[in-house]
A and B are shown apart, each in its own frame.
Chain A
Amino acid sequence: GQNIDQPTEMTATEGAIVQINCTYQTSGFNGLFWYQQHAGEAPTFLSYNVLDGLEEKGRFSSFLSRSKGYSYLLLKELQMKDSASYLCAVLDSNYQLIWGAGTKLIIKP
């Protein structure tokens, strides 16, 4: 079966750095996405990785290792507005998106 694993919940302090991990086992791989979802709102796109390495976009970076089936989302200089769920999703060999259950990130002052 296909599986995406993420921690259920993480807590971090305002101004700090946090790394949210995602491991996957899927039938094929055509890219990995990270989405942000604030409580009661729609998911919004953060990043896309298809090749190994680090993609940096402002305070957010996403890393991919295809050989390890592993990705992480790195959030720097945390702000209270970063409190949200972060969803990892993998595009499989049939170009279907497989979603993780999401990681709820709580930011404390």
Chain B
Amino acid sequence: NAGVTQTPKFRVLKTGQSMTLLCAQDMNHEYMYWYRQDPGMGLRLIHYSVGEGTTAKGEVPDGYNVSRLKKQNFLLGLESAAPSQTSVYFCASSSGDSGANVLTFGAGSRLTVL
């Protein structure tokens, strides 16, 4: 059981380039999330999805787009990368049940924008 898989694990971009981070989960979870983690700060929610075909903005959505065409996949796109987007990106999923909505995280994708 793979859980949540993110690709790529590492990427270096030049300012202005575009890229897509891929997230796949095999737990049949309804909810999926993209977070960024920066030194000295808590995890910040970029975008999330409560089901196939739905997306919503989180705390820091500017400069990012997402798509959830299939229930198991959640894609995060950067159309024109900026150095401020250098970060570690985590995808997570959850069943979305009320109560303890426990998140299962992917291993992370470390992105550097030069």
Contacts and interface: CB of A to CB of B under 8 A. Distances in A.
A33 B105 CA distance: 14
Contacts of B42: 4, 87, 89, 98-102
B22 interface: no
Contacts of A60: none
B107 interface: yes
A70 interface: no
Interface string B103-114: 111111000000
Closest 3 CB pairs between A and B?
A99-B42, A42-B105, A48-B100
B34 interface: no
A8 B106 CA distance: 24
Contacts of B99: 31, 50
B73 to A, nearest CB: 18
A42 B101 contact: no
Interface residues of A, number: 24
Interface of A: 4, 8, 31, 33, 35, 40-45, 48, 50, 87, 89, 91, 95-102
8 contacts: A33-B100, A35-B103, A42-B90, A44-B105, A48-B102, A87-B43, A95-B101, A97-B43
Interface in B60-114: 90, 99-108
A59 B99 CA distance: 24
B9 to A, nearest CB: 10
B41 interface: yes
Nearest to B39: A101
Contacts of B102: 33, 45, 48
B13 interface: no
